[in-house]
Chains A and B, each alone.
Chain A
Amino acid sequence: MSKHTNTNGSQSNGSQTAYAVIDGKRVPLDYAAARRLALNAHLLALGDPKRAAQMVAEAERAERERVTA
């Protein structure tokens, strides 16, 4: 990370441990929890390829129609 700037230096949470909510449970944000989150992000990003391709095709068609209108 290149830059982290304190805006007011205060944190409302007194704990020095960050937490994650995994499967409805509050657990410390260690590597195992973070890996679960990272997998979640990948699944969200890389969902249904057929649907994604369809969405892109529709967007491109709409853009072509907008340009030629």
Chain B
Amino acid sequence: MTPSHGAPFRGFHDDEESPFFCAAGHTPEETWDISVDRLAQLLVKLGLVAKSGAIEMSPELLCSWHREIFGELFPDRAGRLRGFRDGQAEHVYFGVHDRGYRGTTPRELRRRVGKICTEFNTAAIAIRDSAPNDSIDAVHAATRLYVKVLRAHPFVDGNLRAGYVSLNTGLLTLGLDTVEFTDLKLHDELLGIAFVGKHDPYRPLAEHIAETIGDTKSG
């Protein structure tokens, strides 16, 4: 798939069965456009917040981002961790790099996301307190946050978009730049390694992000 950054909507690639494929009263294109706009506004706001002080990750903050992106479109599901509906656990299944995964079970989800956030916050404090700052440590911490949020899959849908915010907020709050992934296939491959690899599986994705940040030219 070729990235189409900045181009008009040219086709929706989501599965029609996806919960967030099309919001009531909107076309798929409108659904896409609204969530893109809300996510963009959120990133701008987070850039300003990060410059005014450190951002502490929490399940509530993650939920608030998800609500900001999807609340207008899917008010009953946005900003809510998966749980139990009509007595049934809301399990989610997803695929990355030719493997299938199931998100953290709803019974464990809040505790798991809380642990992921605490791990990042602890690492962030240590990184800020160290001098001079080592940017690869900071990128690694943000990458680990991103991967673990995605692996937990806290929401019924929209997890990658919420996770993307967590990655870029992690980078921002550690004094780094936000990044995009121009090679979508490589992103998925490195994410797949991070999900299943042994011995610091986050390192390849973290190094790719660090290279992206490090290879910048003046805009």
Spell out A's residues near B (CB within 8 Å).
1-13, 15-31, 33-49, 51-60, 62-63
Q: Which residue of A lies closest to B12 (CB)?
A: A46
B13 touches A38 (CB 8 A): no
A7 to B37, CA, bound (A): 30
Q: Indicate if B188 sits at the interface (CB-CB under 8 A).
A: yes
Which chain B residues lie closer than 8 Å to A23 at the CB level? 182
- List residues of chain A with CB within 8 A of the CB of B1: 43, 47-48
Of B36, B49, B164, which is within 8 A of A44 by CB? B164
The 9 closest A-B pairs by CB, nearest first: A55-B95, A59-B100, A18-B47, A27-B219, A45-B160, A13-B175, A38-B39, A41-B164, A34-B43
Asked whether A38 and B56 contact (CB < 8 A) given A18-B50, A20-B177, A20-B178, the answer is no
| In the complex, per-residue mask of B86-111: 1 if CB is within 8 Å of any chain A CB, else 0 | 00000001111011111000000000
Asked if B22 is at the interface (CB within 8 A of a chain A CB), the reply is: no
Kindly state the separation between the CA atoms of A47 and B35 in the bound complex, as whole angstroms: 16
The smallest beta-carbon distance between B160 and chain A, in angstroms, is: 4
Inter-chain CA distance A58–B95, complex, in Å, is: 9
Q: Which of B4, B48, B121, B133 contacts A12 (CB 8 A)?
A: B133
